[in-house]
Amino acid sequence: MKKSLVILSVLLLVSVFSSFALAKGFTIAMLVKNVGNPFFEACARGGQEAADALGNTFIFQGPPTPTVEGQIEIIENFIAQRVNAICVSANDFDALVPVLKKAMANGIKVISFDSAVNPEGRIVHVNQADAEQIGKLQVQAIAEMIGYEGEIAILSAAATMTNQNTWIRYMQEELKDPKYAKMRLAAIVYGDDLRDKSYNEAMGLFKSYPDLKGIISPTTVGVSATAKAITDAGLIGKVKLTGLGLPSEMAEWVKNGACEAFFLWNPVDLGYLATYVAGLLCEGTITGKEGETFTAGRLGEYTIRKSQDGGTEVLLGPPFRFDASNIDEWKDVF
Amino acid sequence: MELESLRVQRAKSLSFRWEWLLLVLILGAFFVNVRLSPYFWNYRSFMDALSVFLEAGFMVFSMVMILVAGDIDISVASIAALSSVLMALSHKAGLPMGLAMLVALGVGVACGYFNGFLISRVPNLSAIIVTLAGFSLYRGIAYVLLGDRAVSGFPSWYSYLAWGYIGNTGIPFMLAAFFACALVYGLVLHRTAFGRKVFAIGTNRTAALFSGVPVARIRQILFTLNGLMAGVTAIFLTSKLGSSRPNVATGYELEVIAIAVLGGASPSGGKGSIFGACLAFILMRLLRYGMGLRNIPGQVMMVAIGVVLIGVVMIPNLVMSRKKRTVVS
């Protein structure tokens, strides 16, 4: 009796979550680095909006932890479900290429957004902002906050993440400018986009570099964890912080002074643009070639341009600065 | 005496029932999924779904043997990462791919041998401590060698290992290799004197030692085998990713142990079966594939898999306690 009950409940688990979206238009799947990340939840909202605008069905998925192995499993499931397009924010620039090639061989339109995949494994990339601009902007901001003098550190996501590594390269380039001669990049540490690990890495920085003046954290998880670490360690005003963050998570830390200003593009718009581009590719309105122009719904006109990695890309726009003057109007948006 | 034979009988009938139970669960999961998703039963997708994550499956067999012998090895995923990185680097340095694959196997064997040497020859060093150290050590070396870089540029034939099919049967090459491996390991563990000695060690190590079983040598061999299989995993995984990084196969050790235990292997030794491990692997795949087709969020899937693991592993306890009650009354 008990045994059959247990078996029954196990089987039930398989069928618990169900709601089948009826197919209308094209099915566009968005695959993000990991679920439970507010940035990607905001992307999903924009994606849903764009899919609705074009009469498409929208699926949102991601592995519980940011690994390529998890993303490969999900892409295999997308292929089995015969989705029409996949928009992926890749956990690794190269490792998804074989499985994405398989998807494209099955007639699926593959684009990357946020974090690019190798041009071999995609049709076009939707870039949130120019990497050079993002890297340099953050160095300029932290330099201003600490008065162009002292040790700074970078607290990044995982050591393998394409985005962060490119930005950090541009940060290092910007730091070579003579006006930063009195500043020194003391360390680059990795919080793997996990809150507890990022927090501990920040605490570790305070210990290892007692004269630390500023931290740049170019990842939403890292920057809010660092702000909390600065607050908890009683270092508000002593260690300055900037980076890329979500207004809803950062509002508290802007108000208590742990972070004067941070940057980000609008993830709702990013998800919207990616899903819109995927929809247009399915319709055949665009093919992803350099020089094509199109209108992306409420966002307006875009042109496909050559990207630095040898493929093509669509650029969303310049990053946006959030500080005490505007945080209140944005903190409820995303 | 009579009581003892009764207990043995009960244990036997239980292990017999265990694989039946897994089969029933597999069939159940299969039919529920077929009813729930129109995409589930499509021969090609189904074969593909079975071979997702299959690269880790190769380590399950040797892990079952280690568990049967009453040991554990949590360093396998780290060994796989180091094998993958060294294979990629040696290929980049000009070694032909065939030889680079031998490097991967060699690295696996070396790491496994090192683990086994410490565990079996140094007194009072338990497997969990040594392999916990190995868990950090081997992946650490991989990070030292490669940092945050990736290595790619393998010959195109190499991708056949993870992505190719046998002729036009639709059977993935990796799946065939997996079952071939299962057959070999099944025969070794269940049909040879070596296998019986492994069970003897796990049931009672001291008794085995005094019966003339070369305990140290066999444990040494088991850990070396596990390292070898980590090398096999590295070869298939690198083929699947088309590139290598120090963070590949993260978390695989836990999944491998979970599948071995779900397949009936006991972490306290003396119990386990290769056939059961194969069934457990298939069951796990069906559940994940089915939930994936329904686009169930990753976090929910983790919870569901955890519940299934606890539920299934608890079943024999429930059955046992009911039996006991009937005997008493």
Q: What is the mean pLDDT of residues B87-112?
A: 96
> Which residues in chain A have Cβ-Cβ distances shorter than 8 Å to B35?
15
Which positions ≥6 away from B327 have C-beta within 8 Å?
none
* Paired tokens of B114: 């090192």
> Which residues in chain B have Cβ-Cβ distances shorter than 8 Å to A188?
none
SS (H, E, C) B225-274: HHHHHHHHHHHHHHHHHCEECCCCCCCHHHHHHHHHHHCCCCCCCCCCCH
Q: Scanning the structure block, which residue is given the tokens 């094509």?
A: A292
What pTM value is reported for the model?
Answer: 0.81
Which positions ≥6 away from B147 have C-beta within 8 Å?
A159, B246
Identity of the residue in B39, B52, B312 whose CB atom sits nearest the CB atom of A82:
B39
Name the minimum distance, in Å, from the CA of A232 to any CA of chain B.
29
Strand A320-323, strand A261-264: pairing: antiparallel
B52 close contact with A: CB closer than 8 A? yes
pLDDT at A15 over 60: no
Q: Scanning the structure block, which residue is given the tokens 């056949």?
A: B160
What are residue A316's phi and psi, to 5 degrees? -65, -45
Name the minimum distance, in Å, from the CA of B52 to any CA of chain A.
6
pLDDT at A161 over 90: no
Provide, rounded to the nearest whole percent, the portion of chain A with pLDDT above 70.
93
* Paired tokens of B309: 């693991």
- Closest listed residue to residue B48, CA positions, set B185, B225, B189, B240: B240
Chains A–B, number of C-beta pairs less than 8 Å apart: 140
Grade residue B170 by pLDDT with cuts at 50, 70 and 90. Answer: confident
Maximum CA pair distance of chain B?
74
A144-153, A221-230, B44-53: least confidently modelled range: B44-53
The secondary structure of residue B207, as a DSSP letter, is H
Identity of the residue in B162, B249, B308 whose CB atom sits nearest the CB atom of A13:
B308
A330, exposed or middle or buried, with CB in 10 Å at 0-12, 13-18, 19+?
middle
Contact B277, B61 (CB under 8 A): yes
Name the minimum distance, in Å, from the CA of B175 to any CA of chain A.
16
Q: What is the mean pLDDT of residues B140-165?
A: 92
Identity of the residue in B29, B53, B150 whose CB atom sits nearest the CB atom of A11:
B29
Contact B25 A11 (CB under 8 A): yes
Mean pLDDT, chain A, as a whole number? Answer: 89
B4-8, B282-286, B322-326: least confidently modelled range: B4-8
The DSSP secondary structure of B126-156, one letter per residue, reads -HHHHHHHHHHHHHHHHHHHHTT--EE---G
Q: Please enumerate, as own/partner, the contacts of A284-289 that have beta carbons within 8 Å and a separation of 24 or more.
A: A287/A123, A288/A111, A288/A123, A288/A124, A288/A312
Q: What is the mean pLDDT of residues A31-44?
A: 89
Calpha distance A132→A136 (Å, rounded): 6
Sign of the CA dihedral running A64, B246, A194, B132:
positive
Between residues 104 and 143 of chain B, which touch chain A (CB distance below 8 Å)? 143
| Structure-model confidence comparison of residues B35 and A19, the more confident one | B35
Contact B265, B187 (CB under 8 A): no
- Closest listed residue to residue B72, CA positions, set B113, B137, B127: B127
Grade residue B5 by pLDDT with cuts at 50, 70 and 90. Answer: low
Report pLDDT digits (tens) over A101-116.
999 999 999 999 999 9
Q: What is the mean pLDDT of residues A242-260?
A: 93
Q: What is the mean pLDDT of residues B316-325?
A: 67
Name the minimum distance, in Å, from the CA of A114 to any CA of chain B.
19
pLDDT at B63 over 60: yes
The DSSP secondary structure of B79-114, one letter per residue, reads HHHHHHHHHHHHHHTT--HHHHHHHHHHHHHHHHHH
pLDDT at A8 over 60: no
Predicted local distance difference test score (pLDDT) of residue B305: 87
Report pLDDT digits (tens) over A188-221.
999 999 999 999 999 999 999 999 999 999 999 9
Q: What is the mean pLDDT of residues A124-138?
A: 90
Between residues 229 and 268 of chain B, which touch chain A (CB distance below 8 Å)? 240-243, 245, 247-251
Identity of the residue in B148, B250, B314 whose CB atom sits nearest the CB atom of A165:
B148
Predicted local distance difference test score (pLDDT) of residue A131: 84
Backbone Cα Rg of chain A? 21
Predicted local distance difference test score (pLDDT) of residue A262: 94
Contact A243, A271 (CB under 8 A): no
pLDDT at B10 over 80: no
Predicted local distance difference test score (pLDDT) of residue A39: 84
A234, exposed or middle or buried, with CB in 10 Å at 0-12, 13-18, 19+?
exposed
Return the ∠ at Cα B242 (arms to B241 and B244), rounded to 5°.
75
| Structure-model confidence comparison of residues A3 and A137, the more confident one | A137
Which positions ≥6 away from B204 have C-beta within 8 Å?
B270
Residue-range domains of chain B with CATH: 49-313 (1.10.3470)
Provide, rounded to the nearest whole percent, the portion of chain B with pLDDT above 90.
72
